[in-house]
Chain A
């Protein structure tokens, strides 16, 4: 328990201390030192959890008091899944902090940046080791806040601040779903502990309507956080942020939190057919459109962003067919190689001073480390044997095919569709990977730049990340590493098919790419894909515009309707006063006339009533 609390508390402390540091050097030392210490604690806590080890945890109840029943407690728990993600998050955070010291060497706002990265790290760890739904929610939303603040790091750029606003708003819209789900679950189970909830689901205490509703709401939150259709448009627009952030947040950790949420709450989905179907459908659509859009982009980081969207969809698909092990495995592998790719992109961007393909080309000469690690990362993304991406993708497709044959959580039509979509996406992935490689490294340089390998602080993280990119597959092969479920060994025919796909498609693309940008061959489809089907315009027209119009209506209502009542009351009072003032016309004769008439009437009435 202490270790788990430290894993959250140390980065938090590093963030606070780092903000108070007087200069860059001190702030960098605090940030990197904090990340390193956190990494050590994370390793100590996480390594014993793999395999069949019992989960550890504890809770501090009294500090959070009783917010009337059910009570919210600071409860933490680490099992093998948490351990895996904890290691991933801590490692990538440490590497990103190291990388950032060099990448942001001439940035005046480095202190705030490093502090927010530490805060983000604390939040991600909180999500991963939380045993109380509110601890998870706090970490979840704080990650969103940190992501917003970090994307807006270059707040002088309009695309950065617009992207930050969009990311925050879309994820917050989805997070409301998580909040409502937590409230509903808490009432139904009378506890906010994740372990209690999962026990209740296993014991069948919740009605199926409740399970489906909660599952769908959590799916909404995961869809927003992991940028799946239909909330997928924020991730590419978040790319104007600093590249190490994209490596940390938008590839390895925050966007993976959506997958983690569903994996953690998987029994809910296992019990709800409709939620599983929705999950599977979203995964299918997203993996296809993500890969298709990646093929048509002109900017390296946008390609990587769409690629992340597509790969996350693979993980969602694995969850849909019931294989948590495959999803988490791919999450780890993807975290490694996508972070690697983003850091490579950062190095390339520093050299070329831009992230657009048009300024790149011929980068295989002069920067050996960046070239080799980048190639390894791209190959892992495509799923080339024997890199990690191959094994994890194989696990997912194998799980889909097993589910299609043997039945399981997902109906077999869904499993078949996932299998087919997965293979099609593998085709597209191989295509865009090769295209990216060609445009960045291949050919001749298209703009003048000085090619050099970046400084060591930026080089070593690349090398370190290349190791799990290559070797993680072996670890995933180890049966039972995630505790419980048996990890399937390699499926023979899927392995053969996917390798064939990669080789053939890559080769074709390479050939096509010898005579220019392969994407040109897409023809008229290309602008459509580049515009991402215009989904953003649809959102603008049907969500943003009406809200702003409603806001105008409200403003007018306030000044013309509600205020009219107030002004009416005041002018009514003034009118009544003016009318009554007629009686005060300082004409004595009028007064006496009124008096005389009054007396006469009173006398008559008195006489009448007396008789």
Chain B
């Protein structure tokens, strides 16, 4: 079995093992096994990348005839862009499993058991790794869809414990939206495969000159719509805030960190290389919608009252930068799309982890019930949150900045699809969007982290002691306060440290990502004039 296949299959095999034998192990051990398997995939992928040949485009390429009658191959390959995304997926899944390796909280008593959750996380991870390494269109689509179903269960069964109908609704809405988009995308795939006679992405990439005309423009629109639902691009974003508000902590992290990246990866891997000429026609619209999403998401955040919905809308804003980058069809723009994907996954993953832990401690993510003065109540949690907010704002020196800079540079370079006036207008509006992003995050920090330390009003959860009934306490050092509002525990601290360090390292040494991306870029952009 080739190493790359092992990378993709290992989480699925582990999921199977846990499902079958899981009763023998405790919840914490199962979570640790999940984290270990993710680490294994990470290390194997790194090994595959390091030992690739000199002029090999796709490291670790694996090609079996899977279903000969339909010409579907089990074709995996990892070029620089896939490598970055594989790293992201394994790191985040591993951290999700790790954060479950602690005794369940009081509220989890009503939820199904942890083992099933770890199984679902591993299945999602395997499917995502399949998407990121697939070089066959149908294999890509199968893995794309396969990641959806476990996510429905995660949101519907382990979501917001106080709102069963709401979480089912959010999960179903998410599923229907993305399945509809995927169906359109599949129509596009079949259209392309019918014209070129093959389903292999690298083979099609060499035959792109013939794919022009109205039919191919329509196919490109179909594929773009399917990916735009996933990314999400305004105005197809409406499923995201609901899904995030009702999802559990690790559900939100996986959704924001890995799921959305399936869409952005599709843009870079499939839409631009396979249909470059039609992509030039739809590029300006994609960029325009992206910029609309940046401003729209930022404005929506200014008036949000729910913490997780706010972070969800900020994701819409950041993915707007991705859409802008892809729409410019320049090397800078496409590099920006990949860079933002990875950086946003790490940063928003951190934000959702912290927001989720806050919600678990107080029972709700409504800002009005979370209290204020978090620096005084849970200083390390507050500092992690402040770091996440500043990274998300795009402060240079942290990972979030380089992607946004590349997207703006792509817009400045204009690219083959737009004219200067249009591109520079989008540049200006996107730059304004950066200021708006700063505004709402600063407002959020002021509301939540600063101020008199007012403890959260516990919603629904049984109080651990008698003193946390929402009274205003000015002295925050009493032991009873510490019991009711614990700061980060060991697993949470590990998760935070890993994410903070990776964000800082990527911010100061962007070459770690941009090197692999640059290796893959000539093949992605080769067809664009």
Direct contact of A and B (CB under 8 A): yes
B267 at the interface (CB under 8 A from A): no
Among A133-149, those with CB < 8 Å from B are 134, 137-138, 140-142, 144-145, 148-149
A203 at the interface (CB under 8 A from B): no
Q: Please report the C-alpha to C-alpha distance between residue A562 and residue B383 in the assembled complex, in whole angstroms.
A: 36
A176 at the interface (CB under 8 A from B): yes
A548 at the interface (CB under 8 A from B): yes
Q: Please report the C-alpha to C-alpha distance between residue A142 and residue B383 in the assembled complex, in whole angstroms.
A: 16
B299 at the interface (CB under 8 A from A): yes
Q: Are A145 and B511 in contact (CB under 8 A)?
A: no
Q: Are A551 and B514 in contact (CB under 8 A)?
A: no
Q: Are A566 and B173 in contact (CB under 8 A)?
A: yes
B408 at the interface (CB under 8 A from A): yes
Inter-chain contacts of A144 with B (CB < 8 A): 395
Q: Are B442 and A550 in contact (CB under 8 A)?
A: no
Q: Are A187 and B442 in contact (CB under 8 A)?
A: no
A68 at the interface (CB under 8 A from B): yes
Q: Are A548 and B449 in contact (CB under 8 A)?
A: no
Among A175-195, those with CB < 8 Å from B are 176, 179-180, 183-184, 186-187
Contact with B439, one of A149, A169, A183 (Cβ below 8 angstroms): A169
Q: Please report the C-alpha to C-alpha distance between residue A558 and residue B408 in the assembled complex, in whole angstroms.
A: 27
Contact with A161, one of B300, B332, B432, B446 (Cβ below 8 angstroms): B446
Q: Are A547 and B509 in contact (CB under 8 A)?
A: no
Inter-chain contacts of A179 with B (CB < 8 A): 405, 408, 431
Q: State the majority secondary structure of interface residues on A.
A: helix
Q: Are A67 and B335 in contact (CB under 8 A)?
A: yes
Inter-chain contacts of B375 with A (CB < 8 A): 155
Q: Identify which of B303, B406, B453, B515 gathers the most chain A CB atoms within 10 Å of its CB.
A: B303
Contact with A554, one of B296, B438, B509, B512 (Cβ below 8 angstroms): B296
B238 at the interface (CB under 8 A from A): yes
Inter-chain contacts of A172 with B (CB < 8 A): 393, 434-435, 438
Q: Are A548 and B303 in contact (CB under 8 A)?
A: yes
Q: Please report the C-alpha to C-alpha distance between residue A274 and residue B427 in the assembled complex, in whole angstroms.
A: 24
Q: Are B302 and A173 in contact (CB under 8 A)?
A: no
Decide: A552 near B303, CB < 8 A? Known: A137-B396, A145-B390, A145-B395.
Answer: yes
Contact with B395, one of A141, A161, A165 (Cβ below 8 angstroms): A141
Inter-chain contacts of A149 with B (CB < 8 A): 386
Q: Are A156 and B238 in contact (CB under 8 A)?
A: no
B104 at the interface (CB under 8 A from A): no
Stretch in contact with the other chain, from A58-66, A335-343, A506-514:
A58-66
Q: Are B408 and A183 in contact (CB under 8 A)?
A: yes
Q: Please report the C-alpha to C-alpha distance between residue A168 and residue B446 in the assembled complex, in whole angstroms.
A: 12
Q: Are B514 and A169 in contact (CB under 8 A)?
A: no
Contact with A67, one of B406, B436, B452, B453 (Cβ below 8 angstroms): B406
Q: Please report the C-alpha to C-alpha distance between residue A65 and residue B299 in the assembled complex, in whole angstroms.
A: 35
Q: Please report the C-alpha to C-alpha distance between residue A148 and residue B439 in the assembled complex, in whole angstroms.
A: 13
Q: Please report the C-alpha to C-alpha distance between residue A165 and residue B443 in the assembled complex, in whole angstroms.
A: 7
Q: Are A134 and B235 in contact (CB under 8 A)?
A: no
Complex: chain A residue closest to B237, CB-CB: A562
Among A181-219, those with CB < 8 Å from B are 183-184, 186-187
Q: Please report the C-alpha to C-alpha distance between residue A168 and residue B443 in the assembled complex, in whole angstroms.
A: 11
B331 at the interface (CB under 8 A from A): yes
A540 at the interface (CB under 8 A from B): no
Q: Please report the C-alpha to C-alpha distance between residue A382 and residue B409 in the assembled complex, in whole angstroms.
A: 46
Q: Are B390 and A555 in contact (CB under 8 A)?
A: no
A563 at the interface (CB under 8 A from B): yes
Count residues of chain B with CB under 8 A from any CB of chain A.
Answer: 59
B521 at the interface (CB under 8 A from A): yes
Inter-chain contacts of B177 with A (CB < 8 A): 566
Contact with B511, one of A63, A152, A173 (Cβ below 8 angstroms): A63
Q: Are A169 and B438 in contact (CB under 8 A)?
A: yes
Q: Please report the C-alpha to C-alpha distance between residue A164 and residue B386 in the assembled complex, in whole angstroms.
A: 14
Q: Are A551 and B299 in contact (CB under 8 A)?
A: yes
Contact with B300, one of A66, A140, A173, A551 (Cβ below 8 angstroms): A551
Q: Are B396 and A156 in contact (CB under 8 A)?
A: no
A427 at the interface (CB under 8 A from B): no
Q: Are A152 and B450 in contact (CB under 8 A)?
A: yes
Q: Are A66 and B450 in contact (CB under 8 A)?
A: no
Complex: chain B residue closest to A178, CB-CB: B396
Inter-chain contacts of A554 with B (CB < 8 A): 296, 299-300, 303
Among B376-427, those with CB < 8 Å from A are 376, 383, 386, 390, 393, 395-397, 401-402, 405-406, 408-409, 412-413, 427
Q: Are A141 and B511 in contact (CB under 8 A)?
A: no
Count residues of chain A with CB under 8 A from any CB of chain B.
Answer: 50
Q: Are B510 and A65 in contact (CB under 8 A)?
A: yes
Complex: chain A residue closest to B525, CB-CB: A68
Decide: A64 near B302, CB < 8 A? Known: A134-B396, A145-B395, A187-B412.
Answer: no
A326 at the interface (CB under 8 A from B): no
Task: Write the nearest CB–CB distance from B288 to chain A, whole angstroms.
Answer: 17
Q: Please report the C-alpha to C-alpha distance between residue A142 and residue B390 in the assembled complex, in whole angstroms.
A: 10
Q: Please report the C-alpha to C-alpha distance between residue A417 and residue B373 in the assembled complex, in whole angstroms.
A: 50
Q: Please report the C-alpha to C-alpha distance between residue A140 and residue B397 in the assembled complex, in whole angstroms.
A: 10
**Scoring A residues 43 to 72 as 1 if CB is less than 8 Å from chain B, else 0, what string do you get?**
000000000000000000011111110001
Q: Are B439 and A155 in contact (CB under 8 A)?
A: no
Q: Are B395 and A72 in contact (CB under 8 A)?
A: no
Contact with B302, one of A65, A176, A184, A551 (Cβ below 8 angstroms): A551
Decide: A142 near B397, CB < 8 A? Known: A66-B514, A554-B296.
Answer: yes
Q: Please report the C-alpha to C-alpha distance between residue A324 and residue B327 in the assembled complex, in whole angstroms.
A: 43
**Scoring B residues 465 to 476 as 1 if CB is less than 8 Å from chain A, else 0, what string do you get?**
000000000000
Q: Are A68 and B335 in contact (CB under 8 A)?
A: yes
Complex: chain A residue closest to B408, CB-CB: A183
Q: Please report the C-alpha to C-alpha distance between residue A168 and residue B394 in the assembled complex, in whole angstroms.
A: 13
Q: Please report the C-alpha to C-alpha distance between residue A558 and residue B297 in the assembled complex, in whole angstroms.
A: 10
Among B292-315, those with CB < 8 Å from A are 296, 299-304
Task: Write the nearest CB–CB distance from A67 to chain B, whole angstroms.
Answer: 5
Complex: chain A residue closest to B440, CB-CB: A551
Complex: chain A residue closest to B438, CB-CB: A172
Task: Write the nearest CB–CB distance from A278 to chain B, whole angstroms.
Answer: 19
Q: Please report the C-alpha to C-alpha distance between residue A156 and residue B510 in the assembled complex, in whole angstroms.
A: 37
Decide: A64 near B510, CB < 8 A? Known: A169-B435, A551-B302, A554-B300.
Answer: yes
Q: Are B397 and A138 in contact (CB under 8 A)?
A: yes
Q: Are B509 and A63 in contact (CB under 8 A)?
A: yes
Q: Are B515 and A555 in contact (CB under 8 A)?
A: no
B518 at the interface (CB under 8 A from A): yes
Among B24-76, those with CB < 8 Å from A are none
B460 at the interface (CB under 8 A from A): no
Decide: A156 near B373, CB < 8 A? Known: A65-B511, A68-B335, A173-B435.
Answer: yes
Contact with A65, one of B393, B451, B512 (Cβ below 8 angstroms): B512
Q: Are B402 and A67 in contact (CB under 8 A)?
A: yes
**Scoring A residues 238 to 261 as 1 if CB is less than 8 Å from chain B, else 0, what string do you get?**
000000000000000000000000
**Scoring A residues 568 to 594 as 1 if CB is less than 8 Å from chain B, else 0, what string do you get?**
000000000000000000000000000
Inter-chain contacts of B446 with A (CB < 8 A): 161-162, 164-165
Q: Are B511 and A62 in contact (CB under 8 A)?
A: yes
Task: Write the nearest CB–CB distance from A360 to chain B, whole angstroms.
Answer: 29
Q: Are A141 and B238 in contact (CB under 8 A)?
A: no
Q: Please report the C-alpha to C-alpha distance between residue A395 and residue B303 in the assembled complex, in whole angstroms.
A: 51
Q: Please report the C-alpha to C-alpha distance between residue A553 and residue B300 in the assembled complex, in whole angstroms.
A: 9
Decide: A551 near B413, CB < 8 A? Known: A66-B515, A68-B518, A179-B431.
Answer: no
Q: In the A-B complex, list the 6 residue pairs whose CB atoms are closest, starting with the nearest.
A: A65-B511, A551-B302, A155-B450, A161-B450, A554-B299, A138-B396
Question: What are 22 A-B interface contacts by the 8 Å CB criterion?
Answer: A64-B510, A64-B511, A65-B513, A65-B518, A67-B518, A68-B521, A72-B510, A138-B396, A141-B401, A149-B386, A152-B450, A156-B376, A156-B453, A165-B442, A165-B443, A168-B442, A179-B408, A183-B405, A184-B412, A187-B412, A548-B302, A554-B300
Q: A66-B514, A145-B395 are in contact. List 10 more A-B contacts (CB 8 A).
A: A66-B518, A67-B518, A142-B397, A155-B450, A172-B434, A172-B435, A173-B435, A547-B299, A550-B299, A554-B300
Interface residues of A (CB under 8 A from B): 62-68, 72, 112, 134, 137-138, 140-142, 144-145, 148-149, 152, 155-156, 158, 161-162, 164-165, 168-169, 172-173, 176, 179-180, 183-184, 186-187, 547-548, 550-555, 558, 562-563, 566
